[in-house]
Amino acid sequence: MDVQPPSALDLKRAAGFKAVNLVEDGMNIGLGTGSTVHFALERLAERVHEGLHIKGVPTSLHTEFLARRLGIPLTTLDEVDLLNLAIDGADQVDQSGYLIKGRGAALTREKCVADASKFLIIVVSEEKLTDRLSGPIPVEVLPFARGHVARAIRRMGGTAVLREGADRDGPVITDNGNFILDCTFPSIADPPVLEEAIEQIPGVISCGLFTAFTKKTVVIVGQSSGVEVRSF
Ligand code: 5RP
């Protein structure tokens, strides 16, 4: 009988489930966005139905609706001082623990929740690991300033492409009413410097480079050989 290797979804599920083992009774937790977090939320909901008491702060309308459907109690960043941990996905993770996030267009709320959390638990499948971040880097921009920001990105040596909606005519509109520019650079030599430079452009709401959280980041990687836990 042939034994099939685990699929990408199996690896995401394994990482998502493992992250939920870190959740303890009474915690306030950030709920990230994406297909890997989806598995974590399903497991978290099982634990809630078994009697675990937690409250979640969702990072997107998508996650809010899913959490409500699964019966996960919710709160807001206004109502909690500190989140015990946040569970979120990533598009790329390098060896220093720097991240690119935002394929799901939820980067701004994800960055707020990461900043408000004591620990950031990143759940990924192994193909997200890279020696060097390469992008594209999602950047949330005020619609009014999209041309201004795109020109500034070009002056920095990059290109900026307005993200189009998959199921609608016109651009993707974020949960905050803004646009996403997917920005590509020939190389990302110094991710913290690039993140700061992008976030200083007037009209940028936030940049999908996440470099400020490495000390509190734990990356849970679903791999064909098993689940690996990395810290930095
Ligand atoms: C959304 C994100 C996601 O966490 C990231 O895109 C990873 O998603 P997935 O787990 O579906 O691969 O940053 O803004």
Same domain, 173 and 126: no
Same domain, 152 and 96: no
Q: What are phi and psi of 56, to 5 degrees?
A: -115, 145
Q: Which residue has the tokens 């920001």?
A: 149
What residue type is 184 in one-letter code?
T
User: Measured in angstroms, how far is the CA atom of residue 170 from the centroid of ligand 1?
Assistant: 22
Question: Residue 1 falls within a domain, yes or no?
Answer: no
Ligand 1, residue 36: give the atom nearest the CA: 10
Average pLDDT in the chain: 96
What is the percentage of the chain residues whose pLDDT exceeds 70?
100
Same domain, 189 and 217: no
Same domain, 28 and 102: yes
Question: Residue 201 falls within a domain, yes or no?
Answer: yes
Question: Residue 3 falls within a domain, yes or no?
Answer: no
Same domain, 12 and 28: yes
The contacts of residue 8 (CB under 8 Å, 6+ apart) are: 125, 127
Same domain, 17 and 78: yes
pLDDT of 126 higher than 90:
yes
Residue in 62, 66, 91, 120 to alter for ligand 1 test, most ligand atoms within 8 A of Cβ: 91
Same domain, 144 and 119: no
| Residue 78 DSSP SS3 | coil
Least confident of 8-17, 38-47, 111-120: 8-17
With bands split at pLDDT 50, 70 and 90, how would you rate the model's confidence at 1? low
Question: Residue 90 falls within a domain, yes or no?
Answer: yes
| Ligand 1 cavity residues, CB under 6 Å | 32-36, 88-91, 101-107, 110
Same domain, 45 and 83: yes
Same domain, 28 and 113: yes
Same domain, 94 and 154: no
Indicate which CATH number applies to the domain containing 153. 3.30.70.260
Residues in the chain: 232
Q: What are phi and psi of 52, to 5 degrees?
A: -70, 135
Same domain, 95 and 181: no
Question: Residue 195 falls within a domain, yes or no?
Answer: yes
Eight-state DSSP code of residue 13: H
pLDDT of 113 higher than 70:
yes
Same domain, 118 and 226: yes
With bands split at pLDDT 50, 70 and 90, how would you rate the model's confidence at 169? confident
User: Over the stretch 220-229, which tens digit does the pLDDT of each residue have?
Assistant: 999 999 999 9
Number of domains in the chain: 2
Question: Residue 16 falls within a domain, yes or no?
Answer: yes
| Residue 96 DSSP SS3 | coil
pLDDT of 2 higher than 80:
no
Question: Residue 122 falls within a domain, yes or no?
Answer: yes
The encoded tokens of residue 199 equal: 């976030």
Indicate which CATH number applies to the domain containing 43. 3.40.50.1360
Domain of 171? 137-208
User: Over the stretch 39-91, which tens digit does the pLDDT of each residue have?
Assistant: 999 999 999 999 999 999 999 999 999 999 999 999 999 999 899 999 999 99
From start to end of the chain, where are the E strands? 28-31, 55-58, 83-88, 92-93, 99-100, 117-125, 137-141, 159-162, 179-184, 204-207, 209-210, 217-223, 226-231
Phi-psi region of 70 (alpha: psi -120 to 50; beta: other; left: phi over 0): alpha
